[in-house]
Structure 1
Amino acid sequence: MRDKKTVFYSSLAVSLVLISIGIFAPKQLENFSNSSLSFIYNNLGWFILGSVFIFFVFCIYIGMSKFGHIRLGDDDDRPEYKTATWIGMLFSASIGISLVFWGVAEPVSYYIDPPFGTGYSEESAKTAMQFVFLHWGVSAWACYAVIGVSLAFFQFRKKLPASLSSVFYPLVGDKIRGTFGKTIDVIVILSIVIGIATSLGFGTLQVNSGMNYLWDVPIGISTQAIIIIAVSIIYVVSTVSGLQGAMKHLSNLNMLLAFVLLGLVLIFGPTQMIMKIFFQGIGDYAQNFISMSFRTEPYGDGSWISSWTLFYFGWWIAWAPLVGSFVARISKGRTIKEFMFGAIFIPVLGSFTWFSVMGGSAIAFIQNAGETALATAVESDITSALFIFFEYLPFSVFLSILAMVLVIVFFITSANSAVFVLGMISENGNPNPSHLTKIVWGVIIAAISVVLIMTGGLAGLQSALVATAIPIAVLMLFMCYSTFIGLKEEAAIISGGEAKEKVELFKPEKLKETKKDLAILAEVKETKKEPTILAEVEETREEEMLVTNK
């Protein structure tokens, strides 16, 4: 029993130590984290960019190759969730809350301060959407898909525990059950705890900002603490209900609310402009994908790339263990080809649509209508940018309330997936962790978020999370190699089984059995024909007798 709880207690202790530093020495943690990030960006930025590109190439390769037909589970397994629900759960577990937070703020920020050229110009508007698509495109989802497909393959096809350490079985064998495996699991849990705590902290700030904008609710620690506690109670209860309970229904609700909000802004906003931005952005993104993916600015200071592209790519890598583990858990029964198409390209189109509608409309208001106050609002307070943007549309209050509800529901589903994954890894890969373990992690995450907001340690802990991208990226590269070995062996087993069946078919004894079966089949057919023939003969005889009598 003690060995089974090693990962849980070790990760809990390490997490609390790091969080304690964020509580009692937030400035020191922030300074150390920023120094670490600066070192990484200046010396290892190329490694982050190269790793993310390798992940994307790996995903495309295994999805389009002979491995694409391998099912994540037994050959007769079929998906547990309908495709629409599955896609909704992908968004809910990963970037849903971030899409709402950055939907307006990020494109406008790039428009004001582009990576090159002059801000507030037609060229900067085009560049803004191009880089937004890079940061939220296939590169981000490939990080999630690498871990998702690897873990799902070894968990459901090879019947190993639902822990990321299982993915390394082809490389280290049974060491995944020893110190090596437990160390990996502790690192993964640490990144998940930090990631979800900071994400929920920033989400709380946006909800508080929306409440202040709509109802003059004061912005302060007490209000934010109440928000976190209220939401935490909901997500802990829904997590206890399981994947088939409230979590699935909340994910469906997320998609419904998101589509309604998106549709209303599309209709009320500059519709024709939005469609042009969407298609122009996809074209620019596809045309410049390679150059943007490897852009390091070696001849300049590289500050823009460090602040945005490297930060985002590091953030996706750091979040990959959480999202990838959850995506693996809900993807049993799908083929690798189906998984890759659904986990990369469909969410990317959703992200592009969201930013085109929200960010594209905001840029259009500033560029074409001269509403520079919106740009000023984004520069001064990112958390309120979305609600100020709605002022330029009809039914602004309704849209603001809808957006705030959407943030809260995304808030809940993100925490749901995190608590569920933490429970799985803490219990050595148990796909259905105990309620007690999930409740403990839920309470800890809520407490961490509250304390970080109180002490101002959110920024420092966020930087610390991105700094973990380097060791996690190294693990993910080895994960790609290990998964390739596993898939290659599985493909050989499948091919060997098919070849054996063909050989068996042409063995002498098999041929004799086949001839015997054919002879029996012929006799059966003749037997079935016999009554018909007799009836025909009898009918002919009766006709002859009638002729004779006449």
Structure 2
Amino acid sequence: MAEIKERPTSASAAPRGAPIDRLVFGVAATLSVAFVLVGAVWPEETSERATSVLGWVTGNFGWLFVLTSCGFVIFSAYLALSRYGNIKLGPDDSEPEFSTVSWVSMMFATGMGIGLMFWGVAEPLTHFNAPPLGEATPGSPRAAELAMQYSFFHWGLHPWAMYAVIGLAIGYFAYRKGYGNLISATFRPLLGEKATQGPGRAIDVVAIFATLFGSATSLGLGALQITGGLDNVFGSGAGSKTLAVIVIAVLTGCFVLSAVSGVERGIKYLSNANAIAAALLAFFLFVVGPTVFILSTFTQSMGAYLTQLPAMSFTTGVFEEQASSWLSGWTIFYWAWWISWTPFVGMFIARISKGRTIREFVIYVVLVPSLVSFIWFAILGGTALDLQLVEGWEPPLTDTGGIALEASLFEVLREFPLASITVALAVFLIAIFFVTGADAASIVMGMLSQHGEEEPHRSLIVFWGVATGAVAAVLLWAGGLAALQTLVILVAAPFMLILIGMCVSLMRSLREESYESTMPMRNRRAWEHSRRFPDGP
């Protein structure tokens, strides 16, 4: 995200120093503060009401989450394979701002966040000991296969197709049509001038909420894992909600300090170093861990994922209550979480992809990060499964007998050399992901609050950063991980409808493109030559 702040080169973006959109910011800020106050004063009641509403949403609209996520995969594939794949995100003569290597590297950075750190070991272990949909015996080889298969499913093509759809819409309307770098700007073909008025501003408010709660969920997961790491290193009794809230407060203070002191460049370097350190951690486990088992796990899991992808993609659990409950807690939560992150990731990817064709965009945005996620889970998850399945290792458990999610990564690292160093490195990685993640998400919320300004006022960035930390703390205090999952699904539900509308709007505009714009560049030159010289050279 630092690139967005340092290189505001788009002519279509709002003018530098654009005024704050008082309506969008005022409504979003008021509702956010109200939620924080209500959640802080009545945490139990907030959790109960949210859980009740969640049951209604998943019971009545779980099928829509499933169907929509599949639709995004199909839609992005159609755009890449059709003649529209030749259209550029920018004028026909525009060229990419970044080399392919730099472009892909920045997409790697967007994929290596707190989520991968938290779930890299925790999800495969959980599925291994409590198999998805109850389709295997816990702790069996079949359970291990399902554990990796569903980990690939939750972190593969579906989420990145969501990012591709919103990134394409934002990039197309901002850089090719010149409508501005806002979510509401993508609705011009459907709403006309209303996209800049009340309806459009309402869309931007919903986008702020989706980003706020999606980011708060990631920060809450990070806080839980940091407390687990502190307990692993110091035996400090991690897992308490009080300690997790203290961690959030401290790291939010670090973020605010970085924002007001103007050390964005230092945060940029820390973020880049963080991605490298995460790669080194995975490489270390690959080398000292069960290398052959990891390679075999990756190969077999990839085959199982690709083979079972259609069936997994359309499963709703309608015929069995246990399956429906599992899908609500895992698959639908993930789809909602990804949807809530689409404003941030979509705006970031769109910003760095100006000048790319739609086909190039889809291939690199969907396939490359998915492959990185598969490798990450094969190494971390495969190592954990080898320890339990082959070595007889016992994973950390909670008081209720479930997998201790926040401690699982550190317990796995304890089984290998240099444990004190790798555990401390993991805690540091998560902490920096927290700070830089709050920085990046706050910039996006600031942009949405300031007419798409690529360098929003620092006060806006600080406000939304503090609000994100406050929401994460309230959710943890109200109900821990369950509260985080509940609220992100509730907030993502309306934004899912906005994503569907963006697809319709994008398709309508693409159909109005000239025949020349949809031709491959080499064919376009020949076609232009034939028009200029109809009787030959």
Structure-1-length-normalised TM-score: 0.85
The 3 A distance-change label for structure 1 pair 287 and 11 is same
| 1:193-272 superposed matches below 5 A | 193-217=212-236, 219=238, 223-225=243-245, 227-236=247-256, 245-246=265-266, 248-272=268-292
- 1:357 to partner: Cα distance: 0.7
C-alpha separation between the residues in 2 aligned to 1:318 and 1:412? 19
Q: Is the Cα contact below 8 Å between 1:92 and 1:413 reproduced in 2?
A: no
| 1:254-403 superposed matches below 5 A | 254-301=274-321, 302-374=324-396, 379-403=402-426
Counterpart in the other structure of 2:496:
473
- 1:373 to partner: Cα distance: 4.1
Letter in 1 for 2:113: G
Aligned: 1:23 with 2:23: no
Match of 1:62 among 60, 79, 85: 79
Letter in 1 for 2:503: C
Aligned: 1:169 with 2:188: yes
C-alpha separation between the residues in 1 aligned to 2:175 and 2:207? 20
Q: Is the partner of 2:35 in helix, strand or coil?
A: helix
- 1:435 to partner: Cα distance: 2.2
The 3 A distance-change label for structure 1 pair 26 and 245 is same
Q: 1:106-128: CA deviations, max 9, x gaps?
A: 10110111121211101111111
- 1:265 to partner: Cα distance: 0.2
Q: Is the partner of 1:63 in helix, strand or coil?
A: helix
- 1:200 to partner: Cα distance: 1.1
Counterpart in the other structure of 1:546:
none
Q: Is the Cα contact below 8 Å between 2:282 and 2:376 reproduced in 1?
A: yes
Which moved further from structure 2: 178-187 or 110-119?
110-119
| 1:41-56 superposed matches below 5 A | 41-56=58-73
Counterpart in the other structure of 2:116:
99
Letter in 2 for 1:283: G
C-alpha separation between the residues in 2 aligned to 1:3 and 1:319? 23
User: Rg larger in 1 or in 2?
Assistant: 1
Q: Is the Cα contact below 8 Å between 2:87 and 2:517 reproduced in 1?
A: no
Where has structure 1 moved over 6 Å in runs of 4 or more?
Answer: 240-244, 375-378, 495-500
The 3 A distance-change label for structure 1 pair 441 and 94 is farther
Aligned: 1:427 with 2:446: no
Q: Is the Cα contact below 8 Å between 1:108 and 1:375 reproduced in 2?
A: no
- 1:385 to partner: Cα distance: 0.9
Q: Is the partner of 1:431 in helix, strand or coil?
A: coil
Q: 1:286-330: CA deviations, max 9, x gaps?
A: 000000111122221122222211221222222222322222223
Letter in 1 for 2:67: G
Relative to its length, the structure with more helix (as a share) is 1
C-alpha separation between the residues in 1 aligned to 2:499 and 2:46? 26
Which moved further from structure 2: 139-148 or 457-466?
457-466
Match of 2:532 among 502, 505, 528: 505
Counterpart in the other structure of 1:7:
24
Q: Is the Cα contact below 8 Å between 1:22 and 1:457 reproduced in 2?
A: no
Q: 1:236-260: CA deviations, max 9, x gaps?
A: 4656799993454334212211110
C-alpha separation between the residues in 2 aligned to 1:408 and 1:76? 42
- 1:392 to partner: Cα distance: 1.4
The 3 A distance-change label for structure 1 pair 503 and 298 is same
Q: Is the Cα contact below 8 Å between 1:23 and 1:457 reproduced in 2?
A: no
- 1:461 to partner: Cα distance: 4.9
Q: Is the Cα contact below 8 Å between 2:395 and 2:408 reproduced in 1?
A: no
Q: Is the Cα contact below 8 Å between 2:217 and 2:488 reproduced in 1?
A: no
Letter in 1 for 2:224: L
Counterpart in the other structure of 1:532:
none
The 3 A distance-change label for structure 1 pair 81 and 505 is closer
- 1:474 to partner: Cα distance: 1.6
- 1:17 to partner: Cα distance: 1.8
The 3 A distance-change label for structure 1 pair 382 and 218 is same
The 3 A distance-change label for structure 1 pair 495 and 140 is closer
Letter in 1 for 2:319: Y
Match of 2:96 among 73, 79, 90: 79
Q: Is the partner of 1:296 in helix, strand or coil?
A: coil
| 1:143-154 superposed matches below 5 A | 143-154=162-173
Q: Is the Cα contact below 8 Å between 1:189 and 1:425 reproduced in 2?
A: yes
C-alpha separation between the residues in 2 aligned to 1:439 and 1:3? 14
Q: Is the Cα contact below 8 Å between 1:111 and 1:128 reproduced in 2?
A: yes
Q: Is the Cα contact below 8 Å between 1:72 and 1:336 reproduced in 2?
A: yes
The 3 A distance-change label for structure 1 pair 3 and 85 is closer
Q: Aligned-residue CA RMSD in angstroms?
A: 2.8
Letter in 1 for 2:136: G
C-alpha separation between the residues in 2 aligned to 1:283 and 1:92? 26
Match of 1:118 among 125, 133, 137: 137
Counterpart in the other structure of 1:445:
468
Match of 1:90 among 107, 111, 125: 107
C-alpha separation between the residues in 2 aligned to 1:182 and 1:141? 26
C-alpha separation between the residues in 1 aligned to 2:264 and 2:532? 44
C-alpha separation between the residues in 1 aligned to 2:183 and 2:336? 19
Q: 1:207-231: CA deviations, max 9, x gaps?
A: 1221221133454566545533443
Q: Is the Cα contact below 8 Å between 1:235 and 1:413 reproduced in 2?
A: yes
- 1:16 to partner: Cα distance: 1.5
Q: Is the Cα contact below 8 Å between 2:162 and 2:339 reproduced in 1?
A: yes
Q: Is the partner of 2:252 in helix, strand or coil?
A: helix
- 1:64 to partner: Cα distance: 2.2
C-alpha separation between the residues in 1 aligned to 2:245 and 2:492? 29
C-alpha separation between the residues in 2 aligned to 1:161 and 1:358? 41
- 1:381 to partner: Cα distance: 2.1
- 1:433 to partner: Cα distance: 1.7
Query: Structure 1 unaligned runs (5+)?
Result: 515-550
Q: Is the Cα contact below 8 Å between 2:20 and 2:451 reproduced in 1?
A: no
C-alpha separation between the residues in 2 aligned to 1:432 and 1:157? 21
Overall identity of the aligned pairs, in %: 35
The 3 A distance-change label for structure 1 pair 129 and 209 is same
C-alpha separation between the residues in 1 aligned to 2:457 and 2:481? 30
Q: 1:324-380: CA deviations, max 9, x gaps?
A: 222222322322222212211111111111111111111111111111345779925
C-alpha separation between the residues in 2 aligned to 1:343 and 1:206? 28
